[in-house]
Amino acid sequence: FRTCYLATQKELNFNWQDNLEHSLEHSREKAIESSDKVLNKLFIDLPGLERIFDKLQKYEDPDSAYLWGKWFITDPSKGLVKKEAIQKADVISDDLDDLSPSSELEAPAKEMVNVTDVDQKAKQDYTLQHHFEKVDTIDDYDGVWRDTDGSDELDEHEEALDELSLQNTVRVDDPVHTMYRSEHLRNAFIPIVGEAKTDAFFIHYDEWDTAKKQYQKNYCKVFPAEANKIDEKYLIGTITDNALLIRQLRKKMARVISEREQSRRQYYGDEIDLDMVVENYAELQAGKSPSERVYIQQQKKQRDISILLLMDLSLSTDAYTNEGRILDIEKQAVICFAEVLEEFYSRFQIDGFSSRTRNNCDYVNVKKFDESWAKAKNKVGGLEPAGYTRIGPALRHATAQLAKEKSRKRWIILLSDGKPNDYDRYEGIYGVEDIRKAVLEAREQEIYIFTLAIEKSAKHYLPRMFGQSQFRILAHASHLPEALGEFYLRISN
Q: Calculate mean pLDDT across residues 380-389.
A: 94
Q: Which residue has the higher pLDDT, 343 or 120?
A: 343
* Angle, alpha carbons 147-153-158 (nearest 5°): 110
Strand, coil or helix: 265: strand
pLDDT at 399: 98
pLDDT at 235: 94
Q: Calculate mean pLDDT across residues 370-384.
A: 94
pLDDT at 394: 98
Measure the N-to-C terminal CA separation of the chain; round to a whole number of Å: 36
**Residue 179 binned pLDDT confidence (cut-offs 50, 70, 90):** low
Beta-carbon count within 10 A of 82 CB:
9
Question: Does 382 have pLDDT greater than 80?
Answer: yes
Rg (CA), the chain: 29
pLDDT at 257: 64
pLDDT at 277: 82
Q: Residue 361 and residue 243: Cα distance in Å, rounded?
A: 35
Yes or no: say if 216 and 402 are a contact pair by the CB < 8 Å rule.
Answer: no
Q: Which residue has the higher pLDDT, 415 or 61?
A: 415
Q: Calculate mean pLDDT across residues 23-41.
A: 82
Q: Calculate mean pLDDT across residues 398-418.
A: 93
pLDDT at 312: 96
pLDDT at 270: 73
pTM of the model: 0.60
Of all residues in the chain, the percent with pLDDT exceeding 70 is: 69
Digit-coded pLDDT (tens) for 74-90: 655 554 444 444 454 44
**Residue 229 binned pLDDT confidence (cut-offs 50, 70, 90):** very high
Q: Which residue has the higher pLDDT, 133 or 404?
A: 404
Strand, coil or helix: 369: coil
Question: Does 23 have pLDDT greater than 50?
Answer: yes
Q: Calculate mean pLDDT across residues 437-463.
A: 89
Q: Calculate mean pLDDT across residues 303-324.
A: 88
Listed in sequence order, the residues at least 6 apart from 104 whose beta carbon sits closer than 8 Å to its beta carbon are: 154, 178, 179, 180, 181
Phi, psi at residue 353, to the nearest 5°? -150, 155
Q: Calculate mean pLDDT across residues 149-171.
A: 64
Question: Does 91 have pLDDT greater than 60?
Answer: no
**Residue 100 binned pLDDT confidence (cut-offs 50, 70, 90):** very low
Strand, coil or helix: 225: strand
pLDDT at 292: 81
Q: Per mean pLDDT, which range of 163-167, 187-191, 268-272, 284-288 is the poorest?
A: 187-191
**Residue 187 binned pLDDT confidence (cut-offs 50, 70, 90):** very low
User: Across the chain, what does the average pLDDT equal?
Assistant: 79
Yes or no: say if 348 and 367 are a contact pair by the CB < 8 Å rule.
Answer: yes
Question: Does 155 have pLDDT greater than 70?
Answer: no
> Within the chain, which residue ranges are assigned CATH 3.40.50.410?
216-255+303-492
Size of the chain in residues: 493
Q: Calculate mean pLDDT across residues 2-15.
A: 86
pLDDT at 144: 57
pLDDT at 362: 96
Which helix (H) or strand (E) segment holds residue 239: the answer is helix 232-241
Q: Which CB contacts under 8 angstroms, 24+ apart, belong to 448-451? A: 448/410, 448/411, 448/412, 449/395, 449/411, 449/412, 449/413, 449/414, 450/411, 450/412, 450/413, 450/414, 450/487, 451/413, 451/414, 451/415, 451/416, 451/418
For the CA atoms of 309, 314, 319, 322, what is the dihedral angle to 10 degrees? 0
Q: Per mean pLDDT, which range of 37-46, 89-98, 403-412 is the poorest?
A: 89-98
Digit-coded pLDDT (tens) for 346-362: 899 999 999 999 999 99
Listed in sequence order, the residues at least 6 apart from 53 whose beta carbon sits closer than 8 Å to its beta carbon are: 1, 39, 43, 67
Q: Residue 283 and residue 279: Cα distance in Å, rounded?
A: 6
pLDDT at 74: 67
Q: Residue 331 and residue 320: Cα distance in Å, rounded?
A: 14
CATH number, domain 216-255+303-492: 3.40.50.410
